[in-house]
Amino acid sequence: MNLLETRDIILAKKVCDHCLGRQFRNKFREYSNDQVGAAIRKAKAEKDMEKGLKKKLKPKLLKTCVLCGGIFAELDKYEKLLKKEYKKHDFQTYLVGCKIDKKLIEREEKLWEEIGMEFVEPIKREINRTFGLMVWEWTKKNAEFSFPDVIFTIDFKRARIETKMNPFYLYARYRKLVRGIPQTKWPCRECQGRGCPKCGGSGKQYKETVEELIAEKVLEETGGKSSSFHGEGREDIDARMLGKGRPFVLEIFGPRKRELDLEKLEKRINQFAKGKVEVSDLRPSSRKEVQAIKSVMHEKTYDVLIECKGISQEDLKNLEEYFHDRLISQKTPTRVLHRRADKIRKRKIASVECKLVKGGFKAIIKTQAGTYIKELVSGDNGRTEPSFSSVAKKPCMVKELDVIEISE
């Protein structure tokens, strides 16, 4: 079927120049669809078509076009709506989509059965491209198809713009300087987060968390609705996180602002959480980095104060030698069995360095991520084998625990 035969089939259906030209998009890509449509409408032969493309023909827009339902006759209306909407939001990347009547898509697909699909461009693709280019011209910001900051959806059935703001991500490291603060929010055990006299109506098991101490100022700066904390592992509530700190990504939902003075924000967080939590290395992050943070298994080093009566220097030397490059077997600790599956984990202990102190000893333990240190020391009634207790043949118990290094 030649171009003129195809043209006559399409024109018989009363279409606008946008919809006429769209059926030949992949044949004349260097021109806009309405230009192509206007030239095809006027052309009587192939040479006339070429002449028409070189002229600036006024496109024919129909409110009654059977393929677009008059959408392209109302471009100005939706352009104004989109321009008003995009100015409300702070973003670096965007995507434009649309919602149209399914009947329009069905009509176009039925047309393709008659004329073929060799050169066509679907109506939704033209709409998205047209309005996407408008946003680029206004902002000079780039479209992003996988995970943009914002998605503008033009709803032609309801004559409105729907906006979805994707989360904003910040990477940093935190140091926890005091004991007794969990990493993330815990619902009250009594009321499961509903609020009760035991938790003072807060719904929380603990008054403060690392997440909340960091997130409060970030939420203020971004205007976000809520947050989610993604840490590279977690330390026990009664353990400190020292050294250079633990990597994490903070996810902010519904942010109104993304362009932040991160140096100023870092200072605000550290002032607000002074003496409890410190953050450093604050920078923009991504959803991809959240996945990386969750999956990485970096080696960790602990500084542990251990209570052990009657321990000798010779015992400590034996511990150091025995646990050098030693594989241990750990069943899920008794203390967390109520919330974790009971299974066996194999973990590698890289090294142990011990020093006698009053009432016991101190140990610097370098080990694979995911090792339960308290149980490595105590043995947890045989659930961890071997343990410091089993090798020293004396009961050992962790009194204080600090994470002092997370390898990079």
**Positions marked catalytic:** 236
Nearest to 94 by CA among 33, 165, 34, 11: 165
Side-chain half-sphere CA neighbours of 81 within 13 A = 17
**DSSP letters along 342-384, please?**
--EEEEEEEEEEEEEETTEEEEEEEE-TT--HHHHHH-TTTTE
- Please answer whether residues 286 and 166 qualify as being in contact, where contact means their C-beta atoms are separated by less than 8 angstroms: no
Start-to-end C-alpha separation, the chain: 64
Specify which residues 236 forms β-bridges with: none
Number of Cβ within 10 Å of residue 198's Cβ equals: 12
Backbone angles phi, psi at 35, to 5 degrees: -65, -45
Tell me the C-alpha distance between 94 and 145, whole Å. Answer: 8
Extract the tokens encoding 37.
Answer: 């449509």
- Please answer whether residues 305 and 377 qualify as being in contact, where contact means their C-beta atoms are separated by less than 8 angstroms: no
- Residues contacting 109, CB < 8 A, separation 6+: none
* Pairing assessment for the beta strands 277-284 and 168-176 based on DSSP bridges: antiparallel
Extended beta strands in 93-238, E state: 93-99, 142-143, 150-155, 160-165, 168-176, 226-231
Write out the H or E segment, with its range, that includes residue 340: none
* Helical axes 75-86 vs 123-139, angle rounded to 10°: 50
Tell me the C-alpha distance between 46 and 173, whole Å. Answer: 66
